[in-house]
Structure 1
Amino acid sequence: MLRALELAANGPERGINPRVGCVIAAPDGTILGEGWHRGAGTAHAEIAALAAAGADAVRGATAIVTLEPCNHTGRTGPCVDALLGAGIARVVYAVADPGADSSGGGARLRAAGVDVEAGVLAADVDAFLGDWMTTAKLGRPLVTLKWASSLDGRAAASDGSSQWITGAESRNDTHLLRSQHDAIAVGSGTVLADNPSLTARASDGSLLPDQPVPVVFGARSIPEGAKLRQHPRPFQHVDGHDLAAVLRQLRESGIRSLFIEGGPTLASAFVRAGLVDSFVAYLAPTLLGGDRVALTDLGVDTIDGALRLAITDVARLGDDVRITLTPKGQ
């Protein structure tokens, strides 16, 4: 299984599909073939390993694979069918496939008379798969909500100006976080008011190697001269009425992590819907007062209904403080 995990690491880190490795071994332990999944639309790890071993060698052999063989037809056929057709006698895998459509491969193999062992190095493989496992279980991307505010929770001054509440260190840190997410989201109101580029940039203004896909929530059209139209990746314009449905759609397009930066309306809607997995707040040691708050109505009427968060990290960035939190009980 350790060798299968090594092979899995050859696959692409991002995208809708997990990184999976497979080893085909003879009854005496001799390795007959190896394979890994190279990305969406390509042969799964089991298929690649079977092909490397050759049809004449694999009958009665063991397939060792990091993830439970899939049991559904997507861009490729079920790996279960390929293993049964090849005459594999034993299958060993680490973690169960969490997908509603793709799971059940182990049970089907057992029903067909294949010796199946599950859970080998499960903790290692689960940690390796990381956010893919989480998003597969959730059926949506992981959502990080970020805002920058004054100490009294204002995201802008009374006249609407907001550049710059926080210092350069916080802004540089925000760009790094952007680059670590598959997509960055704002509302159409933010696009119209602020005309953001939504790129991830270094302190000298140059583009970082990893750029998030820009996503705009809302029905209002995007002007032809909007900066995000110059983004190195095409933007997606989505209807924001059903956030859960949009998130499912984004995951199906290969987005596993979403960084929300845009405006109190969009931010508050995600919080109200219970769709935020992580909060990142940059607090500047300044007071603004007024009604330009970072978040608006969250559906909280009493203190007993407050949304309680757990602090996972606190860091000082120049004069500012960055606090990272998750919903309690998560």
Structure 2
Amino acid sequence: MSSQAGSENENNGEHLPTVREGGEGGVAVEEHDPFANPGLPPHEPRKQDIDERAAKRSERTVSLLFTVSMLATVGFIASFVAIDVDKIVYIFPLGHISALNFALGVTLGLALFCIGAGAIHWSRTLMSDVEIVQERHPIEATPETKTLVKSEWRQGTEESQIGSRKIIRRTLLGALTLVPLSGIVLLRDLGPLPETKLRHTMWDKGKLLINMNTDEPLRPADITVGSLSFAKPEGLEDGAHDFNKEIAKAALMLVRIHPGDIKDAESASWGHEGILAFSKICTHVGCPVSLYEQQTHHVLCPCHQSTFDLSDGARVLFGPAGHPLPQLKITVNDEGYLYALGDFDEPVGPSFWERG
């Protein structure tokens, strides 16, 4: 009796009592099955389902959110074009931050948020909220299931009212069309679009070679045979806002080699009494080259072991570097200080696609 009742309850999916024999005096006791399927609660229509004015209000709200998303995307693009990358502003409680980064973050965040909020409000107020139960089925769908899915898709499309709610459809398409423009605009930073910035450094004719450690102009006597010294161009001061950007291109290393040991005659003519000046920036990925072997005149990049022969125009002997280290032509002025006769003979650092 009890197994029969339990089976019935299970099959009907109703939360009905289960009869158990026993108890005092052999009287049957009824118990509720805690695992019985309660079923779905009765469907309650929303206000928008029965009041077209409420539905219109929801439609306007969704459209407003999509419209704000479009305006925010336009603001993102305008900010990217109009705001200087170096501009700093104070915003409480963030403190001093980049105005460009703040504007891009706010506008793009608002554009994406409004699309999401509009879609959620649309689904909660206008799309069908009737719950549909579907029994589990094999992984491979039967032809009947495929037909059912297609019909449910058509039904869902109709119930979403995307066909009849034209203003929602148009503003949604507008928002989704404009948002990808943010990513396209950001591709501009991947360019590169450096114009001629990668081809020139702060070195120019007449600029003194300043010792990186003492901040004093260098004389030939300051550089001994077999030593390696480092210099920066005159006028580039530590702590300046553009110091890191400029020294990353203008960093210079000086080596003094016996004139008879220099293999490249042209390289020797660019130096002074065996003092040669080369870029310190490796032509592989831009690491600082600084490990010098006095006996071989080889300099090694510590990152990927590219090796350059400073006695032979800094040509590559080993490693992934694709070009010799650019050389700086130097001489001495009337006061006996070393100075540059121009910029490097080649763009410094790693190769780039526009480089000839």
Instruction: Give the structure-1-normalised TM-score.
Output: 0.28
Q: Which has the higher strand share?
A: 1
> For the pair shown, which has the larger CA radius of gyration, 1 or 2?
2
The structure with the largest helix share of the pair is: 2
